[in-house]
Structure 1
Amino acid sequence: FMGSRVLAGARVWSAMRARHAHRDLYDDDIDAVFERALPRLESARYATEYAAALLSFVSAFDDAQVTLRGATVDSVRGVATLPFRVRWADGRAVVTDVVSTEEARALDIRVGQELTAVDGFPLPAWLQERRRAVSAPNDWSRQHLLMTLLPRGAVGASLVRLRDVTGRERQLAVPRRVETMALLPQVERPWQPASIALSGGVAYLDVNRLTEQTVQAELDRHRSARAWVLDLRGTLADSSMVAAAVLRAVRTRPVAVVARELHRYQSVPCLAESLREQTAQCPDEREVRSRVSRGDTTGQYRGRLVALVDERTAGAMERLALALEATTEITFVGSATAGSPAEAVDVPLPGGLVLGVPAAELRRTDGSQWQRVGIAPVVDARLTLRSYRTGTDEVLQRAQEWLAPQLDGRAGRRR
């Protein structure tokens, strides 16, 4: 068992040194991090301790697409959950969705309440303690990922403190249950349909809610709208055909470079002892490939396009955002995207674990860095504590406000 634990750590270390596309963007010295992780790997008595040590090691790679998966990883993060979801807004952990059960109603847990302590720890202490539980490219992505983990933990009661709209705080023993995991909605506002006809001839389409079976019908339904607001604040599976359908419906350029792929190779063996010495002493060959999108532009949607983005726009959804920018005229509204767009390949590890590693770096079409930076919107807008307490989407409202003069002042013209 000990040999497999150390082998797993060594395999992670060697895989990241050889295959990780963003190995020149680490904040930490990965070799030093591995040296610190070895004693924890060697002393791990149980599979969960081994997974916890690997999680802390993997978090140093500063990439949300570097993921460690497996049953023991789930056990470390917790197989049970509190009866609510949380998001970070205005520097606070805000309850965004609550399971509709008698138990949750009896505890009077409501959307818009602020979580100030969890598991008996004040929230700042909890965040600092769990900082190494996730791999994230930047601070805004890290906060988002930590909020998704916050309700999870071992089965049993968790001591939490909630602050309501009046500033009154209550301390509650809230149960974590395994069955609650299946009851929690995976998207905000689960009652909201995938598309809505808004005032002023504007159509709202939530790409996160569209499916391969519904996407074409929803797009066709709003063909006559003067403008589309595409909500990209979420994730898509790499294999999903939704992105291709959206791109096919709105593209106005038949051929466009949507991203640059940067591949690094070492043509000769490198004997440097550390990754930093390797970066400085061992030259690598770099190959840049263009990702080109081609498609028919006849009969495409010709109205105005706005896309809503924030830290939840990651992976395939983030790649869709950049493809839209390259193939049509679109305005981004919201806050910076996650900055973790690359596809990952799986590396099997001992103990039934799998490590996801991006093998190619994606850059913007002009060659500028995309990883850890994200896509910056033209119009800045964010969901605030008020958004959740009033049930309004301030980012969508800001998009409508921006669209109004564009549509009424210069009708029929494209930006």
Structure 2
Amino acid sequence: MLRTLLTRFILAAGLIAWTASAAPTPNAPELPSPEERLNRLARLWGQVKYRHPSLAYKPIDWDAALITALPRVEAAKDRAAYAAAVQDMLETLNDPATRILRPDERQDSAPADPARTREPRRWEAKDVLVINMGVRQPTAPLREELTRAKAVILDLRARGLDPRASEAMRQTLGEVLPLLLTQELQVPGPRAVYHSGYRPQTISSSGGFATSFLTSTGERISPQAPGKALPLLFLLDDQSSVDARVLTMKAQGLAQIITEGRLDDGSSVERTRVDLGAGLTAVVRLSELGVPLRADAVLPKRSRSGKDEALLKALELARKPARGKAPKVREADLPPGRWQADEAYANMPYPDRPYRLLALFRMWNIIEFFYPYKHLMDQDWDQALTTFLPRFSKAKDAAEYALAVAEMSTLLKDGHTTLHGHPELEKRGIAGVLAPFEAMELEGKAVVTRVWDEAAAPGIAPGQVIETYEGKPLAERMNALKSYVTASTPAHLRHRLLARALSGAEGSQATVGVRDAAGARKQVRFTRSMRSLQKPPTGDAWRLLGNGVGYVDLTRLQPADVATLFEKMKSTKALVFDMRGYPHGTAWAIAPYLNARKAPYGAVIERNIVSSEELGGRYKYYQPLPQANVTPYKGRTVMLIDERTISQAEYTGLFFEAANNTTFIGTPSAGADGDVTNMVLPGGIALLFSGDDVRHVDGRQLQRVGLKPQVFVRPSLASVQKGQDEVLERALKYLVSKGVSAKVSGETPR
């Protein structure tokens, strides 16, 4: 408790000192506009939210900290008020290393002590060796001088030196330290939050997205001291980068620390800076060490011509060897991570303005950090924060708020992007349950292609053209959705718009006007229900088409039936895999049968990694093709595809392509692949999006391109109305051209 109060006192004292120095001056940077301040606050909030280690295990309400800070940041009339509002938000973390930098912390032009900058080593009080750590130290002469020393002072002060001096000091310390040790030193490594993609908030995902701690193993330093243990003292200042080796020696009673100017443990960990405008900069902790920074003496920052009081204090302490205690157990200082999903505030369909801004900040940062296809967006995501700030801020009701979220989501250009959970979205079809039948755009018309549940849509049949929705042209409803529905390709966007135009809330009904092949029109009322969409499809998953060609409907085939399928089809000359829809995870079971050439991999996957690395990173791995002791299928294979081929269906295509170069026939697939994750936003909105960047095994782009057919064919309206499958027929013609006698016997499989 005492330590907590002391920390708060130091923070408050630092803020008072800052605000006192923040009085307007003729050359003071201009205070940004309220909108620009919110923009910068959003970025700072996100850096803390997804990179500060405390948020991964401490019960800190970071949402509430933002909600409290927002009105103060906007209302600030000067730099001091702006700084105070932001600093108060950061104090929620109770972390002195995460704060607004004080003016005195900026590197100034004051020269360092000339003796310290020129000489690698010098003697003080005849028998105290002072080592200038900013200069490389030849080992042989240093070893000899250490035999004559009664104490050693290592000068790590960096004020007035080149900013790169700290790294040089680290290297020099690594060379010098073994010569000072008479016992082995085990130095702990820092730990940082490690996000492997974005962990989903409310859904399960096969992607293995996870948040954890990444802990460095540290290092073990063997002793090489030429004689007995000597009193060791480290001189630091407020520009020093405090090394973990220094802190460990202090914690184990092997050295003392004297600091010149303010220094906190932020100097010993990784941090990032966020520009807040108005000459303000915030620093955010990115890692933690578990070894505290506790100085034996803290002296004021030295003036340009003043005495070197820090050195004098070091000389005094050199005569008083440290009597330190053993450090605490590391695990007691650094508790394990604790996962906590974001609050969705589902009881706020129309959130108050601060919560609407929280939604904007959260959504923008999640995509900024974690969306793997950000480089494929048509518009600059950085600009989206500025563009949508007034939209979220000024939304006058629940509908405007929900629609602002939906419109912002369309910037992702991702066929996986789907919204759930808000009544205003369901009312418009942007979210909700699909119709109990499937429709496709053919020749510019909405055509029924399948009926999932005849009882829920009596009178609907394949081949009918849907002309109206609730008495108005269907095209009007589709056009009204264009600003709120996204997809990866233009063809898939039209498909999704059509599906969403027919969507609505669970249990709701709607009436469509349809026209059949004979031109007869009628009104049909249907009921939306998840039960209708979950009804198992009727018909066999495979059949022989004649002349040694097998047909496999991958939207019906189950993994348990794959072995039986290939046993039945082992004598066929070719297989037609129909992937115009969504599979049941059969790619992993089928691939070994097709992989006669023993291809090792089926796809390349890249994932955003968010941790303490300043530039972030991508994790790239090759998806192995499953192996099994089965008899390879030796016939040709083709796959039927179109815009309904999405996600796992496209992944199936990648596996087959890698295994035996399966030929794709039809039209391009949806171009939306990668395991899905989701975020939640105030108002109970859940937003799904692609969490991985999936590519062909040779690295070619799949997202926003799709699987490209080697044989292009699009069904006509007339063929659908006649019950024909032009895509399948074209596949059989292709097989004939390759020497396989193929024809359809009986009715079209679908």
Query: Normalised by the shorter chain, which TM-score bucket?
Result: 0.7 to 0.9
- 1:374–1:297 distance in 2 versus 1, CA, 3 Å: farther
Listed as ranges, the matches of 1:300-319 within 5 Å are: 300-319=632-651
Q: Aligned to 1:293, which of 620, 625, 643? A: 625
Deviation at 1:16, TM superposition (A): 0.9
1:66 maps onto 2:417 in alignment = yes
Name the CA distance, whole Å, in 2 between partners of 1:286 and 1:153: 38
For the structure 1 residues 264 and 120, does the alpha-carbon distance in structure 2 shift closer, same or farther, using more than 3 Å as the test?
same
1:65–1:343: 8 Å Cα contact kept in structure 2? no
Task: Tell me how far 1:264 sits from its aligned partner.
Answer: 5.3
Question: Could you tell me whether the CA contact under 8 Å between 2:435 and 2:528 is conserved in 1?
Answer: no
* Residues 328-382 of structure 1: CA deviation (Å, up to 9, x unaligned): 1321111111111112233333344333333432222332222101111111122
Residue 318 of structure 1: CA displacement?
0.5
* 1:233-272 alignment runs, 5 A limit: 233-236=580-583, 240=585, 242-263=586-607
Aligned to 2:558, which of 211, 220, 239?
211
Counterpart code for 1:183:
S
Instruction: Give me the whole-angstrom Cα distance separating, in 2, the residues matched to 1:110 and 1:386.
Output: 14
Which residue, 315, 322, 325 being the options, matches 2:657?
Answer: 325
Indicate the SS of the match to 1:255.
Answer: coil
Q: Which residue is equivalent to 1:192? A: 539
Give 2:380's aligned residue.
29
Instruction: Report the alpha carbon displacement of residue 324 of structure 1 after superposing the two structures with TM.
Output: 1.0
| Mapped contact 1:339–1:374 kept (Cα < 8 A) | yes
Say what the alpha-carbon RMSD is for the aligned residues. 3.2
Equivalent position amino acid for 1:87 in 2: M
Which residue of structure 2 aligns with residue 9 of structure 1? 360
Report the Cα offset of residue 17 of structure 1.
1.1
Q: Give the distance between the partners of 2:458 and 2:500, measured in 1 at CA.
A: 19
Q: Distance in 2 between matches of 1:228 and 1:323?
A: 15
Unmatched tracts of structure 1, length 5 or more = 271-282, 410-415
- The residue that corresponds to 1:182 in the other structure is 531
Deviation at 1:162, TM superposition (A): 2.8
Query: Which residue in the other structure is 2:80 paired with?
Result: none
Q: Identify which of 512, 515, 522 aligns with 1:163.
A: 515
The answer to which of 351-360 and 316-325 deviates more is: 351-360
Q: Distance in 1 between matches of 2:740 and 2:592?
A: 27
Query: Is residue 254–residue 296 contact of structure 1 (8 Å, CA) maintained in 2?
Result: no
Aligned length: 386
Instruction: Report deviation, 1:96.
Output: 2.2
Instruction: Provide the secondary structure at the position in 1 that maps to 2:483.
Output: helix
Structure-1 separation of matches of 2:383 and 2:607: 25
CA, structure 1 residues 83+289, in 2 after alignment: closer, same or farther (shift >3 Å)?
Answer: closer
Question: Separation in 1 of the partners of 2:360 and 2:461?
Answer: 43
Q: Does 1:153 align with 2:504?
A: yes
Determine the structure 1 residue equivalent to 2:578.
231
Aligned counterparts of 2:450 and 2:679: Cα–Cα separation in 1: 35
Q: Which residue of 2 aligns with 1:370?
A: 702
Q: CA deviation at 1:213?
A: 3.5
How far the C-alpha of 1:249 sits from its partner, in A, is 2.2
Provide closer, same or farther for how the CA distance between residues 400 and 49 of structure 1 changes in structure 2, counting only shifts above 3 A.
Answer: same
With the length of structure 1 as denominator, give the TM-score of the two structures. 0.81
Change (3 A) 1:365 1:146: same
How far apart, CA to CA, are the structure 2 residues paired with 1:79 and 1:176?
15
Conserved 8 A contact 2:574-2:740: no
Q: CA deviation at 1:6?
A: 2.4
CA distance in 2, matches of 1:149, 1:48: 17
Structure 2 partner of 1:104: 458
Corresponding residue for residue 113 of structure 1: 464
CA distance in 2, matches of 1:176, 1:35: 42
The answer to whether the 8 A contact 1:159-1:171 is kept is no
The amino acid across from 1:353 in the alignment is I
Looking at structure 2, the residues matched to 297 and 386 of structure 1 have their Cα atoms a distance apart, in angstroms, of 46
Compared CA separation, residues 76 and 150, structure 1 to 2 (3 A): closer
Q: Which residue of 1 aligns with 2:444?
A: 91
CA contact (8 A) 1:93 1:114 kept: yes
**Higher mean displacement: 340-349 or 131-140:** 340-349
Q: Deviations along 1:302-323, whole A, 9 cap, x unmatched?
A: 1111111111111111011011
- What's the secondary structure of 1:337's corresponding residue? coil
Equivalents in 1 of 2:436, 2:655: separation in Å?
37
Cα deviation digits, residues 135-192 of structure 1 (max 9, x gap) = 2011011112122222223677756443332446x474x435345x5336879xx443
Amino acid at match of 1:175: R
What secondary structure sits across from 1:347 in the alignment? strand
Separation in 2, partners of 1:47, 1:232: 40
- 2:604 is paired with a residue whose SS is strand
Where relative contact order (Cα < 8 A, 6+ residues apart) is larger, the structure is: 1
Larger radius of gyration: 2
The superposition leaves residues 278-320 of structure 1 with CA deviations (integer Å, 9 ceiling, x where unpaired) of xxxxx76555433332524651211111111111111111011
Supply the AA of the counterpart residue of 1:95: V
Equivalent in 394, 405, 408 of residue 57 of structure 1: 408
The code of the aligned residue for 1:85 comes to E
Name the CA shift for 1:289/1:44 in 2 (closer, same or farther; >3 Å). Answer: same
Work out the CA distance in 1 between the residues paired with 2:417 and 2:454: 34
How far apart are the structure 1 equivalents of 2:624 and 2:450?
A: 40
Change (3 A) 1:330 1:122: same
Amino acid in the other structure paired with 1:375: L
Greater strand percent: which structure?
Answer: 1
Among 670, 689, 695, the alignment partner of 1:357 is: 689
2:341 paired residue number = none
| Superposed displacement of residue 269, structure 1 | 8.2
Asked if residue 344 in structure 1 is aligned to residue 344 in structure 2, the reply is no
Q: One-letter code of the match for 1:88? A: E
Which SS does the other structure have where 1:132 is aligned?
Answer: coil
Deviation at 1:199, TM superposition (A): 0.9
Q: 1:121 to 1:10 in 2, by over 3 A?
A: farther
Question: Which moved further from structure 2: 6-15 or 120-129?
Answer: 120-129
Q: Partners of 1:162 and 1:149 in 2: how far apart?
A: 17
Deviation, 1:124, is: 3.5
